[in-house]
Amino acid sequence: MKVLVIGSGGREHALVWKIAQSPLVEKIYCAPGNPGIGRIAENIDIKVDDLPRLLEFARRENIGLTVVGPELPLSLGVVDLFEEYGLTIFGARRNAAVIEASKAFAKDLMKKYHVPTAAYEVFTEVEPALAFIDRLGTPIVVKADGLAAGKGVIIAQTRGEAVTAVTEMLTGNAFGAAGARVVIEEFLRGEEASFLAFTDGKNIVPLASAQDHKAVFDGDQGPNTGGMGAYSPAPVVTPAIHEKTMTEVMRRTVDGMAAEGRPYRGVLYAGLMIDGGNIKTLEFNARFGDPECQPLLMRMKSDIVPILLAVAKGDISGMEIEWFEKAAVCVVMAAQGYPGEYRKGDEIAGLEEAAKMEDLSVFHAGTALKGDKFVTSGGRVLGVTAMGNTVKEAIERAYRGVSAITWCGVHYRKDIGKKALGKQ
């Protein structure tokens, strides 16, 4: 079978890497892909939002399975379009992907179906928003409604910061249409985890637990990024938390979406805040998390292709996923300046040395080829992902890979996985 993966980040490199191990697959294409992906798949120069060309390519090449990585094509309706033409595609339809594309939709859904989440209200006008800020007090969280690449969330420590955030989102143009509505919510304390599950709209099969590291600097300091590293399993997701999440978050959400006439098919990602035995849902994503996807797929023992096919065809009943009883850790290596303006075009050294290391993969996210040399071309450049018998061993292995690689201005967190140590 021929497979097409849509996207160009570390998540897509990990997906292509895992799909390539399936005996069912004869050829993989990736649109648009990246130079790392290009070593195992054929990159096709089509952008993720160019739906007509993606469709034309998939039909012409007789693609048996298309896998969508990022949220943008999902929220543009790539799944609906491919299905209209009888193609098999893994991902949420447009009316289900709204669970990520609109935070206001997600919050209203959670309220209606009793999914635990922070107290909130949605605003389109500044005055009532300010009154709500005064009522809730600080710290308080202000979120742009629409897709904002992980940058539309402001944790305001003071009233002044909250007022500035709300005013800028509702009246400025920094967030464009994404900021036309804001969600203001209660600030939650605790430890975050990423809970992902496959669903066909009815049955739910969870993936292994994972934890992301959103802040750019060690100790969770500095602005939020798309994710600076991740590991799996996450001990904060105890068996009791797992059960609670399955019944109170996943089951209620999947049933709620079906009841709304928006059956959810694909991978559903809940961002959780865990505080003792309590869970609250911070957000939903309609896709695999990145970088979480990298350690998760490294730990997946089962062939992923039959799973993706079953989800895409709408029946995962009886499906089971096997996992390696090991830990995996991904350390993101980023360009200087990320998540703000960042350097580009720096030559990356050490990739060959890292490639020789055992139980380690270097997934490319923002790289380009200049002649025969790899250079940086994105904010998150590489995801160095390693597996070990324990989190400690996986951390050591991943950082051994990281220390083999360098470029001018490279930045990475030194504490990925630290929260899991001592909890195992």
User: If you ran DSSP here, which 8-state letter would residue 251 be given?
Assistant: I
| Cβ-based nearer residue to ligand AMP, 58 or 274 | 274
Query: Can you name the residues that pair with 323 across neighbouring β-strands?
Result: 300
Continuous segment of H or E residues that includes residue 242: helix 239-244
From the CB of 314, what's the least distance to ligand GLY, in Å? 25
Dist CA 279 CA 273 (whole Å): 6
From the list 56-64, 135-143, 274-282, 287-295, the region that binds ligand GLY by CB under 6 A is 287-295
The only residue of 289, 295, 379, 417 in contact with ligand GLY, by rule CB under 6 A: 289
Sequence-ordered list of residues with C-beta below 8 angstroms from that of 177, at least 6 positions apart, any chain: 146
By a kind-dependent CB cut-off of 5 to 8 A, residue 255 interacts, out of ligand GLY, ligand AMP, none, with none
Determine the Cα–Cα distance for residues 66 and 87; give it in Å rounded to an integer: 8
Report in angstroms how near the CB of residue 374 gets to ligand GLY at its nearest.
Answer: 23
Query: Smallest distance, Å, CB 186 to ligand AMP?
Result: 6
Find, among 33, 1, 45, 43, the residue nearest to 19 by Cα: 1
Determine if 118 is a binding residue for ligand AMP (CB under 6 A).
yes
Judged by beta carbon, residue 196 or residue 300, the one nearer ligand GLY is 196
Q: Does 217 bind ligand AMP (CB under 6 A)?
A: no
Q: Residue 227: which of ligand GLY, ligand AMP, none does it interact with, CB under 5 to 8 A by kind?
A: ligand GLY
289 binds, among ligand AMP, ligand GLY, none (CB under 5 to 8 A by kind): ligand GLY
Closest to 267 measured CA to CA, from 208, 325, 219: 208
Q: Provide the minimum distance between the beta carbon of 98 and ligand GLY in the complex, in angstroms, as a whole number.
A: 16
- Choosing among ligand AMP, ligand GLY, none, which partner's interface includes residue 290 (Cβ < 5 to 8 Å by kind)? ligand GLY
236 interacts with ligand AMP by CB under 6 A: no
Q: The sheet that has 360-364: what strands, in order across it? A: 211-212, 229-232, 327-334, 380-388, 360-364
Task: Indicate whether 188 belongs to the interface with ligand AMP (CB under 6 A).
Answer: yes
Q: Check binding of 212 to ligand GLY (CB under 6 A).
A: yes
DSSP 291-358: TTHHHHHHHB-S-HHHHHHHHHHT--TT----B-SSEEEEEEEE-TTTTSS----PBPB-HHHHHTST
In the complex, the smallest distance separating the C-beta of residue 290 from ligand GLY, rounded to whole angstroms, is 5
Q: What's the CA gap between 242 and 373, in Å, rounded? A: 44
| Beta carbon nearer to ligand GLY, 285 or 377 | 285
233 binds ligand GLY (CB under 6 A): no
Contact (Cβ atoms closer than 8 angstroms) between residue 18 and residue 3? no
Q: Which does 188 bind (CB under 5 to 8 A by kind): ligand AMP, ligand GLY, none?
A: ligand AMP
Q: Are 294 and 212 in contact (CB under 8 A)?
A: no
Distance set, CA 99 to CA 22, 254, 292, 343, 392 (Å): 31, 11, 19, 33, 35
Q: Is 71 in the site for ligand AMP (CB under 6 A)?
A: no
Residue from 76, 155, 236, 368 that binds ligand AMP (CB under 6 A)? 155
The binder of 118, among ligand GLY, ligand AMP, none, by C-beta within 5 to 8 A per type, is ligand AMP
How far is Cα 290 from Cα 417, in angstroms, rounded to an integer? 15
Structural contact between residues 417 and 394, judged by C-beta atoms closer than 8 angstroms? yes
The least distance separating ligand GLY from the CB of residue 372, rounded to whole angstroms, comes to: 32
Residue number, 80 or 292, with CB nearest to ligand GLY: 292
Q: Which residues bind ligand AMP (CB under 6 A)?
A: 118, 141, 143, 153, 155, 185-188, 192, 214, 224, 271, 282-283
Q: Which residues bind ligand GLY (CB under 6 A)?
A: 212, 226-227, 285, 289-290, 292
